[in-house]
Amino acid sequence: QQQVKQSPQSLIVQKGGISIINCAYENTAFDYFPWYQQFPGKGPALLIAIRPDVSEKKEGRFTISFNKSAKQFSLHIMDSQPGDSATYFCAPTGSSNTGKLIFGQGTTLQVKP
Amino acid sequence: KAGVTQTPRYLIKTRGQQVTLSCSPISGHRSVSWYQQTPGQGLQFLFEYFSETQRNKGNFPGRFSGRQFSNSRSEMNVSTLELGDSALYLCASSLEGRGEIGELFFGEGSRLTVL
């Protein structure tokens, strides 16, 4: 059940650069599109999320861009910092499945100093 | 405010044994979900409980079961352990009820090793 495809699998970015991670989904019933961040030894934590009534949401250095027609959404990390080095997961879901997230495969981001 | 607490954090079992993992959600949160994380399969949904009722279930065999108590604390049980059950088991809680989407708060997980 490959409902969610995340790319790239890994990403290396220089400090100050832009990190871009993409997520494609199939289920048109999804109406909540979050990105979770996970550090080693920790559980995932919500980073930023968007609902389909807007095409972009920005919180500090983190931006979600949402393309409903293409069934894709992406995470942009501006001015990437070494502290951003972590694994990122997209996890879209629908209103009828509040606790059930379909996680992407994850993207391991390494930001080099 | 205390976060999601999972116990035990680490455990080692042998094939054929059973294991029970515990999760205490954030105070006031009524929904508890369980996920299995492995390097090969990633994060996979096991089940979700809300007000002591299983509301959603993932595609795992019947050896995987769970329950939720009246204080929202939850347990999951895996019987007849197999080597492939070695994983990080994550519990997540949320404040919202049915039809309300929101943030899941994850614990640090219970790392199970099956020998």
Q: Encode pLDDT of B36-65 as tens digits.
A: 999 989 999 999 999 899 988 999 999 999
Give pLDDT, residue A1.
47
CA-nearest of B93, B5, B6, B81 to B49 is B93
Residues 2-61 of chain B with CB under 8 A from chain A are 4, 31-33, 35, 42-45, 48, 50, 55-56, 58-59
A96 pLDDT tier (thresholds 50, 70, 90) = low
Mean predicted confidence (pLDDT) in B15-35: 95
Mean pLDDT of chain A: 93
- Chain A nearest-CA distance from B17, in A, is 25
Q: Encode pLDDT of A66-95 as tens digits.
A: 999 999 999 999 999 999 999 999 999 887
B82 pLDDT tier (thresholds 50, 70, 90) = very high
Residues 40-69 of chain A with CB under 8 A from chain B are 41-46, 49
Q: Which of A68-72, A101-105, B3-7, B102-106 has the lowest mean pLDDT?
A: B102-106
DSSP string, B12-76: EE-TT--EEEEEEPPTT--EEEEEEEETTTEEEEEEEEETTEEEEE-S--TTEEEEE-TTS-EEE
